[in-house]
C-alpha cells in the first residue's frame, strides 16, 4: 500500500470580482504650508514697496494725508504729451516687431528648419549688447549721415527719423531691443501647434499665403502674440537710456525729469504706471485667451435612420 504523503495546499487565487489587495503605500500629500509661504513672500516682495510708495505720496509729516500728488498729475506740464508719445511708440514697435518676426519664423519653420539656430542667435543678440553701446552706435550714425549725405535724398530721411513729434529712430531701436522677447514668445507658440499640417490643409482648400497667416496661423498664435505685445509694451514704457541720450522725452524720461522738483508726484506717476501696466496685462491676457466655445465640437449627426 503506497504511503500517503501530505502535500502543501495550493495558494488560493483571487476570487473573481473581488478587488486585488493594493501593495502600494498611499501617497503622502505634500503640505500646502510651503506653497502659501512662498506665495506670501512673493506677494510681500511686490506689494510692500508699492504700498510704501503709495504712503509716501499721500502722507506728509506734520500735514496729514493729502492726494495732491495724484490730483495734479493730469495738469502737470508734459504728462499728457509724454504718455501719448510712449503709447504711440509702443504701438509702432509692437506692429513692426510682429511684422518682422511672424513671417520670418513661419518661413523658417516651413522651408528652412536648419536656419532656426541662426535666426535664434540673431534675435538673441540684443541681450548681449548693452543699451549704452547701442545708443552710442545710433548717435554716431545719426551724426555721420547728415554730414556725408547732405546732397542726397537720404538727408531728408535722416531728418525725418529724428522728428521730435514722433521719433522713428526710437521705434527702430526699441524693435531691436524687443526682438529676444518677441522671438521667445512666438517660438513657444509655434512649437505648440502643427504648422505644416495647418498650412498644407489651408493651401489645399485654396487659401492664399496672406489668408493662411491671417486666418489660420494668427488665431492659433493668439496667446503668443498677446505675450509678445505685453513684453514689448512694458519695455517701451520703462525704457530710459536710449531716449534720454538721444534727447527725447517719452514717459520714463519725463518721470525722471520731474523727480528733482516734484518728488511725490514722480513717485505717484510711477505707482500709476505700474497699475496701468498691470491693467494692460489683464486686457492683453483676456484678448489672448481662446473663446470659450473654441474647443467645442459640433454634435455628431444621429446614426438612426427614419423608416
Cβ atoms of residues 228 and 186 within 8 Å: yes
Q: Which residues pair with 303 in a beta bridge?
A: none
Cβ atoms of residues 82 and 239 within 8 Å: no
Retrieve residue 26's grid coordinates: 498611499
Retrieve residue 88's grid coordinates: 504711440
- Would you list the domain boundaries of the chain? 100-288
Q: Residue 44, class by beta-carbon neighbours within 10 Å (0-12 exposed, 13-18 middle, 19+ buried)?
A: exposed
User: Treating both helix axes as pointing N-terminal to C-terminal, what angle do 222-238 and 251-258 enclose, rounded to 10 degrees?
Assistant: 30
Q: Per DSSP, which regions of 131-191 are E strands?
A: none
**Nearest C-alpha neighbor of 284 from the set 94, 80, 104:** 94
Question: 3-class SS at 63?
Answer: coil
**Class assignment of domain 100-288?**
mainly alpha
Residue 300: what pLDDT?
Answer: 41
Q: In this structure, what are the phi and psi dihedrals at residue 59, rounded to the nearest 5 degrees?
A: -115, 125
Q: What is the mean pLDDT of each run of 10 residues along the chain (307 residues)?
A: 51 52 56 82 86 84 78 82 91 94 90 87 89 88 80 81 89 93 91 88 87 87 88 88 90 84 81 79 66 44 42
Residue 1: what pLDDT?
Answer: 44
**C-alpha torsion sign, points 136, 137, 140, 141:** negative
Q: Taking the CB of residue 26, how many other CB atoms lie within 10 A of it?
A: 6
Cβ atoms of residues 67 and 145 within 8 Å: no
CA distance 245 to 165: 17
Cβ atoms of residues 175 and 189 within 8 Å: no
Question: 3-class SS at 60?
Answer: strand
57: CB partners within 8 A, 6+ apart: 69, 70, 264, 265, 267, 268, 271
* pTM value > 0.85: no
Residue 298: what pLDDT?
Answer: 40
N- to C-terminal Cα separation, the chain: 78
Retrieve residue 287's grid coordinates: 484678448
Amino acid at each position: 500500500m503506497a504511503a500517503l504523503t501530505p502535500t502543501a495546499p495550493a495558494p488560493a487565487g483571487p476570487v473573481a470580482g473581488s478587488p486585488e489587495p493594493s501593495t502600494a503605500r498611499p501617497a503622502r500629500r505634500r503640505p500646502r504650508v510651503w506653497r502659501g509661504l512662498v506665495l506670501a513672500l512673493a506677494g510681500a516682495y511686490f506689494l510692500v514697496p508699492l504700498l510704501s510708495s503709495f504712503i509716501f505720496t499721500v502722507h506728509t509729516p506734520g500735514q496729514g494725508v493729502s492726494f495732491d500728488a495724484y490730483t495734479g498729475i493730469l495738469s502737470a506740464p508734459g504728462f499728457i504729451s509724454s504718455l501719448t508719445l510712449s503709447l504711440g511708440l509702443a504701438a509702432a514697435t509692437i506692429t513692426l516687431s510682429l511684422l518682422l518676426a511672424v513671417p520670418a519664423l513661419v518661413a523658417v519653420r516651413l522651408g528652412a528648419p536648419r536656419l532656426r539656430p541662426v535666426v535664434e542667435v540673431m534675435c538673441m543678440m540684443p541681450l548681449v549688447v548693452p543699451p549704452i553701446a547701442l545708443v552710442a552706435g545710433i548717435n554716431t550714425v545719426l551724426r555721420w549721415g547728415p554730414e556725408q549725405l547732405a546732397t542726397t535724398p537720404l538727408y531728408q530721411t535722416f531728418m525725418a527719423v529724428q522728428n521730435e513729434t514722433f521719433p522713428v529712430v526710437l521705434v527702430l531701436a526699441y524693435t531691436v531691443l524687443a526682438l529676444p522677447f518677441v522671438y521667445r514668445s512666438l517660438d513657444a507658440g509655434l512649437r505648440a501647434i502643427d504648422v505644416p499640417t495647418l498650412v498644407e490643409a489651408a493651401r489645399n482648400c485654396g487659401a492664399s499665403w496672406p489668408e493662411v497667416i491671417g486666418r489660420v496661423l494668427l488665431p492659433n498664435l493668439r496667446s503668443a502674440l498677446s505675450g509678445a505685445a505685453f513684453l514689448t509694451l512694458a519695455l517701451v514704457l520703462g525704457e530710459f537710456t536710449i531716449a534720454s541720450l538721444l534727447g527725447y522725452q517719452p514717459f520714463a524720461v519725463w518721470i525722471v525729469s520731474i523727480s528733482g522738483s516734484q518728488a511725490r508726484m514722480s513717485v505717484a506717476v510711477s505707482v500709476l504706471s505700474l497699475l496701468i501696466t498691470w491693467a494692460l496685462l489683464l486686457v492683453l491676457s483676456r484678448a489672448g485667451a481662446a473663446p470659450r466655445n473654441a474647443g467645442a465640437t459640433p454634435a455628431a449627426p444621429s446614426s438612426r435612420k427614419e423608416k
